[in-house]
Amino acid sequence: MHFNAQLSQASHGHQSLLCVGLDPDPARFPAGMKGDSRRIFDFCARIVDATKDLVNAFKPQIAYFAAHRAEDQLEQLMAYMKRVAPGVPVILDAKRGDIGSTAEQYAREAFERYQADAVTLSPYMGFDSIEPYLKYEGKGLILLCRTSNPGGSDLQFETLANGDRLFEQVARLAAGRWNRDGRLGLVVGATFPAELARVRELAPTLPLLIPGVGAQGGDAAATVKAAWRPDGPIIVNSSRAVLYAGDGEDFAQKARQVAQATRDALNAARPA
């Protein structure tokens, strides 16, 4: 199924704008798992089971697996999510960006090895670094635009000769000539609501993956106010606030409680 259709189905079916990010850090695992990288799959699977009816996407961050030589556990997790939450799209957070021949290999990694429904990409090497991913029919490509970290301003907020900020140019390209078959989206941080609103103005129908709600301090209501449009999908990511809500045996139930509260706060902020 086309990524956008999957996202729409999960958003409406679960009445949710929430994405749970899967950033497993064994040092923060609950008692009985703490410090054991062999338990990464077990930890993430428990989170998936606890939240799968509350989300419109899951977003595993590849570095948290690769750093612990746990790529096999990521493969296992991707297959598990397809099995237990088949209606929920999975975004592989990889932020790849390289020349075309290398991009072909990264695309194969994301869509063949890991069977992701979408992948995050850096657009700063231009369209030919993105094009190889478009060969995979129906897969979503989500481009970094205005990221949630403070240092993003070093480049993304620079003014170009035409008067646009760099992040605005990325949004224009993604909503325009780069979006050949309607599969591009944008990463825009909840920590910058004014820029989020500007990106939504420039790209009114593109899916927006919005990190920064929760541990990074982004406000749920301000995020929805800035980004909400009936025909513009929103994927509001929360990772650490959900994953590490509890440190005991009931960690998955605690994660569910935070995920449900976040989903409800996002829904409450939607315009009537």
Residues carrying an active site annotation: 95
State how far the Cα of 133 lies from the Cα of 156, in Å rounded to an integer: 23
Q: Is beta strand 18-22 parallel, antiparallel or unpaired with respect to 234-238?
A: parallel
Q: How many CB atoms lie within 10 A of CB 45?
A: 19
Q: What share of the chain is helix, strand, coil (3-state, %, to 5)?
A: 45, 15, 35
Give CA–CA dist 137/61, Å, rounded: 23
What's the CA gap between 160 and 8, in Å, rounded? Answer: 35
> Quick check: helix, strand or coil at residue 204?
coil
Residues whose CB is less than 8 angstroms from the CB of residue 57 and which lie 6 or more positions away in sequence, other chains included: 7, 10, 19, 20, 88, 89, 90, 91, 235
